Chain A
Amino acid sequence: MSIILEAIRQIFKSPITLKYPFEKTDVPKDFRGRPVWNMQKCVGCGLCSRVCPSGAIEMIGKGLKAEIKHYVDRCIFCGQCSESCPRNAITMTDEFEHAGYDREKMIYEYRRES
């Protein structure tokens, strides 16, 4: 009996399923999307590249002249880099659509503007 009632109730509700990618829902709070570096804050300590479990972060150069290369294709979005950064220079954004055909396009570079 209750099953039938439930079924009738569902008929009048709008569907939960979204027509992705045409409709999108907001990501939850504290979602770990693509990490982004704020190079004004980065001091170039290199901790993020050390802790990265999948080796997705490469640091070129030292200190304030350092450049960061982030390979999104290797990234597992664990958030270790932003956790380890002593100065909150890395934030995890809401971006989660990274699929593509070219690995070269999945490299993000960050450079300090002086």
Chain B
Amino acid sequence: MKTSRDLIAYNDLKKMIIEPGFCNLCGACEAACPVHALKIEDRSLKYTHDCTNFMEFCPICYDICPFTEALLLETLGFVSGAPNRTESIGYYRKIILAQAVDERMREISHSGGVITALLMHAIKTGFIDGAITSESEKETPIRIKPLLSLVPDDLLSAVDYEYFPSSVAKAFGRAVHEYGKTKIAFVGTPCHVRAIRKLEAWEHKIMNSLKIVIGLICLWSFSFPKLTKYLKEAYNIDASDILRIDLDKKYDVSMKDGRIISISIPEIEAHTLSVCKMCEDFTSELADISVGGAHPLKDWSIVIIRTEVGEEIFEDAVKANVIRTRKIEERPDVYAHFVEMGLLKKRYAAEEIERRKRCGEPVPPVYIRMLELLPREISLLSSLRAEHIMTREIIAVRPEYTVEDVLTLMTKHHHMGYPVLNERDELVGIVTFDDVSKVPASKRKETLVKDIAHKRLVTAYPNESAMAVYEKMSEHKIGRILVVDRRNPKKLLGIITKTDIMHVLRWPMRR
């Protein structure tokens, strides 16, 4: 990571993001640039005129790019007011299943239709006066372009999946500058959400018009030329014949003539955008509300509400009988699949970053940011002890619990790892989602926790520094560490997760 920065941010942006091919054309830089020097045209980012003619110094475009390290912790501040946090889904208020009451919307969106229903209701009640989503292009439906909806019916052409890049952040800039909208809802993938949040953290003027951010749940975006070339060669299908792509356990490519071709995830992985392979954010962790499909349930969506404004708009829609909800606890299988996909994405990302580092290939600065702490953060962590940051309320499982019980617990509390305590409250192991997901669904009732739990534990002591804990976590590549009594290593005192550490790093800049 570079420590000293160029006076004109574009030089850095070009070197770190554009030249290695990490740009996903979100258009946030175009929306932010005060002199309109950057433009997204014909699916590439163009530098239309030399911005040094107008400015001596400007950090904007580098700061707000979703793939740079700047402002990353500040963006967490928009969601960190939420009461709960877990490693797999970030900060949240609650998780529920939801669907649109109107059948027409569910049919159009092929899943819950929650976003369409929510935004249409919000426009009708005047909560927002415009929404930015994406819609299909006419000739090739899987290719998408941004859509600005001003009246509720505009939203019916919006799509709820974004498997290809769409310049939605650019559209946000246009909505403010050209349409003069002041209460805008924004819908985008995790990286788009990050771009918008960075603009907000930067206190950019156009962000006064942002009302709510809805994040999509996203595994990867594809590179259009790469994927279409592959589909042409392997399956002999033209891009223009594809109607849509759905993701459950496999990618289902639906054709205009009704055929459906299933492609497995490892097979399709090579054709994603290079930057997506390193992305860890599955659930749009910075959005006000995150929405995604609830496989294997058809017609339902998983909704994660993270902020107060998100809760307000959602509750309003539920009250107006536009959306109906269901408890997630009713369907542990939906939740298990959901988390499995999230962890899959995180695992792919960790492997890819590792591989790139080994081969000396460039990695976007945003993904290095959390691996290498700043000196200020190191000194902060060194000054704290494990007992200051650990969670004391521990939910533990007994060795006799079945895997099914653990899964129910996970769906209820959303934590991904549980310490195993025996009847004398002695620590005997830890069971994580990874262990549970390895057990096939048919055997979940018979398998006991003591058969799958890890017995060799990485532990910390309460008076160790937080920095030492962090180093232990990075060294063993684990997401959580158990804090035990120094005199009696069987006595469990608390638990520290990576999310706890991120939360601590945000402390000094809390508003």
Residue of A nearest to B57 (CB): A63
* Complex contact A47–B203 (CB within 8 A): no
* Complex contact A47–B55 (CB within 8 A): yes
Check: B7 CB closer than 8 A to any chain A CB.
yes
Residues on the A chain within 8 Å of B204, using CB? 86-87
Residues on the B chain within 8 Å of A44, using CB? 56-57
Check: A84 CB closer than 8 A to any chain B CB.
yes
* Complex contact A41–B7 (CB within 8 A): no
Cβ proximity bits B28-43 to A, threshold 8 Å, 1 near / 0 not: 0000101100000000
Choose one: B32, B55, B208; the contact of A46 (CB below 8 Å): B55
Check: A93 CB closer than 8 A to any chain B CB.
no
Residues on the A chain within 8 Å of B55, using CB? 45-47, 50
* Complex contact A47–B34 (CB within 8 A): yes
Check: A62 CB closer than 8 A to any chain B CB.
yes
Check: B479 CB closer than 8 A to any chain A CB.
no
Check: A72 CB closer than 8 A to any chain B CB.
no
With A45-B34, A62-B7 known as contacts, the answer to whether A50 contacts B54 (CB < 8 A) is: yes
Residues on the A chain within 8 Å of B205, using CB? 85-88
Cβ proximity bits A65-80 to B, threshold 8 Å, 1 near / 0 not: 0100000000000000
* Complex contact B58–A43 (CB within 8 A): yes
Choose one: A59, A62, A66, A84; the contact of B34 (CB below 8 Å): A84
CA distance A47 to B202 in the complex (A): 17
With A45-B34, A47-B35, A63-B7 known as contacts, the answer to whether A87 contacts B203 (CB < 8 A) is: yes
Residues on the B chain within 8 Å of A47, using CB? 34-35, 54-55
* Complex contact B60–A86 (CB within 8 A): yes
Say how far A74's CB is from chain B's closest CB, in angstroms: 21
Say how far B382's CB is from chain A's closest CB, in angstroms: 25
A-B contact count (CB 8 A): 46
Check: B365 CB closer than 8 A to any chain A CB.
no
Residue of A nearest to B59 (CB): A43
Interface residues of B in 356-403 (CB under 8 A from A): none
Say how far B167's CB is from chain A's closest CB, in angstroms: 20
CA distance A62 to B208 in the complex (A): 27
CA distance A73 to B203 in the complex (A): 31
Residue of B nearest to A51 (CB): B54
* Complex contact A59–B58 (CB within 8 A): no
Residues on the A chain within 8 Å of B58, using CB? 43, 45
CA distance A23 to B329 in the complex (A): 68
Residues on the A chain within 8 Å of B56, using CB? 44-46, 59, 62-63, 66
Interface centre among B7, B59, B205 (most CB of A within 10 A): B205
Say how far A27's CB is from chain B's closest CB, in angstroms: 22
Interface residues of A in 18-72 (CB under 8 A from B): 41, 43-47, 50, 59, 62-63, 66
CA distance A87 to B60 in the complex (A): 10
Say how far A84's CB is from chain B's closest CB, in angstroms: 7
Say how far A57's CB is from chain B's closest CB, in angstroms: 13
Residues on the A chain within 8 Å of B202, using CB? 87
CA distance A46 to B35 in the complex (A): 11
Interface residues of B in 1-21 (CB under 8 A from A): 7
Choose one: A41, A43, A84, A86; the contact of B57 (CB below 8 Å): A43
CA distance A46 to B59 in the complex (A): 12
* Complex contact A88–B7 (CB within 8 A): no
CA distance A84 to B59 in the complex (A): 16
Say how far A43's CB is from chain B's closest CB, in angstroms: 6
CA distance A2 to B55 in the complex (A): 63
CA distance A53 to B60 in the complex (A): 24
Residues on the B chain within 8 Å of A66, using CB? 56-57
Residues on the A chain within 8 Å of B60, using CB? 43, 45, 86
* Complex contact A41–B203 (CB within 8 A): yes
* Complex contact B34–A46 (CB within 8 A): no
Interface centre among B7, B203, B204, B208 (most CB of A within 10 A): B203
Residues on the B chain within 8 Å of A62, using CB? 7, 56-57
Interface centre among B7, B32, B34 (most CB of A within 10 A): B34
A-B contacts besides A45-B57, A47-B55, A86-B34, 20 pairs, CB < 8 Å: A41-B203, A43-B59, A43-B60, A45-B34, A45-B60, A46-B54, A46-B55, A46-B56, A46-B57, A47-B34, A47-B35, A59-B56, A62-B56, A63-B7, A85-B205, A86-B32, A86-B60, A86-B204, A87-B203, A88-B203
B interface, CB within 8 angstroms of A: 7, 32, 34-35, 54-60, 202-205, 208
Give me 10 A-to-B residue pairs in the complex whose CB atoms sit less than 8 angstroms apart, sorted by A's number.
A44-B56, A46-B57, A59-B56, A62-B7, A63-B57, A84-B34, A85-B205, A87-B202, A87-B203, A87-B204
The 7 closest A-B pairs by CB, nearest first: A63-B57, A86-B34, A45-B58, A62-B56, A62-B57, A46-B56, A45-B55
